[in-house]
Structure 1
Amino acid sequence: MSSPAPITADSPFDFLINEPEGTPRAVLMLAHGAGAPMDASFMERIAAMLTENGIVVVRFEFSYMARRRVDGKRRPAGRAERWTHHYFRAVEELLQGESWNSAWDGLPLLIGGKSMGGRVAAMLACDEDLDLAVKGVVVLGYPFHPIGKSEPENWRLEPLEKSLLPVLICQGERDDFGWWDEVDAIELPPQVTLEWIANGSHDLGPTGKSEATMKSNMQHAARLAADFAANPPILEMDFGPDQPIDDFDDEDDDDEA
């Protein structure tokens, strides 16, 4: 694993890169959740498990989180759509900058993230200007709605419905941002693959009495994500006429434990 240079508010793309020991199968960019940095415990563990499954993992931080490293001040993430351009620039920097390893040429490149980071990636997947090298989206815990606000008007389905790329969501069955019974009651668009993680909460860890463990759940999600990244589906569907993406609800600041 390569160590990043010190992150500053003016240099948000000091990537943190994990590479597998053997031949890589794909490259996956991961953005953090709203409340924790790219080297939070969850991000560290999932990156390590993904590399065990042959995936190159590239992490970066949104600027509000990078500034925390400079001055130690906690800042709210704000509205999720404000970070789509930031993610877009991160993709461009990875593909065009010095961080790209020529050994990755020809590998599938996917974008994604934990919770808010995955939601932003899904929003970005609606952009026709996104580099064609990007083949899919991986979301670890999609915030389908704010906690305690599961009314229809609060659901965040539009990025999924308008995504131009295949999307994999690994969702805990007991995720407060979208329980299995809530999500099971709606019809997700065909470009979305939803995989349930047994008794998982928002961090995929099991709650209550369960044979599953945090480690087994994360390993399961990592295998699913790795297989999806290595062989992203090719969409064959009509998305209908182009429509602008409306504003989304405010993102909650307690997006990630």
Structure 2
Amino acid sequence: MPITDDLSIQQNLVDGAVATLIFAHGAGANMDSAFMTEFTQLLNEREINVIRFNFPYMQQRLIDGKRRPPGKMDVLKESYIERIKQYSAELPLFIGGKSMGSRVAAMVAGEEKVNGVVCIGYPFHPQKKPEKLRLEPLQEADKPVVIVQGDRDPLGNKADILDYDLANNITVHFVEDGDHDLKPRVKSGFTHFQHKITAANVIKAFIKEQS
């Protein structure tokens, strides 16, 4: 439950937690989106505290109802760093996010409190522009990074990623037939919820290993 007056932050805490994850939303959906809410619950069930927050542009959108693009990357990074600085608990801290949120997290991984980075659907490149790679944040991250990626993600599919020269501190776990939201097609035999559970289990194992 929230333990702050800041309406742009939501803290979901559990008894016996082993770590805390600051979990940032993607470009088009806020911290209370169905994906963010359901995934937070799955992480809570795995003894991980979750702190969600809205980037400033998204919080302003909620206030006035006007759609607007994400702010400049420097503003997004500053917002994430502020959340990290606010963290004062003794539990190990991890940072990450969904899509754009994971990219910003990778960029601020050098903050002293951070033990590792969690990425769900990392945007390796813009859609239909595979030549415009966004590997630099991952390559420069000096902490362990785990990425859970749908193997047909249009922002970085399995075939493409296996050709990238990723650093040794980066681990990528692919979910079969998953898209950018990890959602598989019906014919795959998998369900979206199954892939979310897999992702939560991968993250729990990563956090235990790095704590």
Q: Cα distance, 1:78 vs. partner?
A: 4.3
Amino acid at match of 1:48: Q
Q: Bigger CA drift: 167-176 or 71-80?
A: 71-80
Shift of 1:208: 4.9
Higher relative contact order (CA 8 A, sep 6+): 1
Match of 2:10 in 1: 16
- 1:224 positional shift: 0.8
Q: Verify the 8 A CA contact 2:57 2:71 in the aligned structure 1.
A: no
How far apart, in 2, do the equivalents of 1:181 and 1:201 lie? 13
Paired residues of 2:124 and 2:135 also in contact (CA < 8 A)? yes
Q: Who is 1:26 aligned against?
A: 19
Relative distance call for 1:138 and 1:25 in structure 2 (3 A) is same
Residues 1:201 and 2:185 are matched in the alignment: no
Residue-by-residue CA offset, 1:206-252 (whole Å, 9 max, x unaligned): 1251121110000100111122123217xxxxxxxxxxxxxxxxxxx
The structure with more radius of gyration = 1
* Equivalent pair of 2:178/2:185 in contact (CA under 8 Å): yes
1:26 partner letter: A
> 1:187: how far off?
2.2
* Counterpart code for 1:147: Q
Equivalent residues in 2 for 1:114-125, closer than 5 Å: 114-125=98-109
Q: Matched residue of 1:46: which SS?
A: helix
CA deviations on 1:133-173 (whole Å, 9 max, x unpaired) are 2101001110000000012xx00001111111111110011
* Aligned partner (choices 77, 81, 86) of residue 88 of structure 1: 81
Corresponding position of 2:136 = 158
SS of the equivalent of 2:210 reads coil
Counterpart in 2 of 1:148? 128
Corresponding residue to 1:68 among 53, 61, 65: 61
Query: In the alignment, residue 121 of structure 1 is paired with which amino acid?
Result: A
Whether 2:93 is the aligned partner of 1:109: answer yes
Name the CA shift for 1:6/1:23 in 2 (closer, same or farther; >3 Å). Answer: closer
CA distance in 2, matches of 1:4, 1:199: 39
TM-score if structure 2 supplies the norm length? 0.94
Query: Of 165, 173, 177, which aligns to 2:151?
Result: 173
Q: For structure 1, list consecutive stretches of 5 or more residues without a partner in the other structure.
A: 8-13, 96-103, 234-257
For 2:188 and 2:42, locate their aligned partners in 1 and report how far apart those are by CA, in whole Å.
Answer: 22
TM-score by length of 1: 0.78
Structure 2 counterpart of 1:2, one-letter code: P
Instruction: Choose the corresponding residue for 1:135, options 102, 115, 118.
Output: 115
- Specify whether residues 183 and 208 from structure 1 end up closer, same or farther in structure 2 by C-alpha distance, changes over 3 A only: farther
Structure 2 runs not aligned, ≥5 long:
none
Q: CA deviation at 1:15?
A: 2.0
C-alpha distance in 2, partners of 1:145/1:231?
29
SS in 1 for 2:51: strand
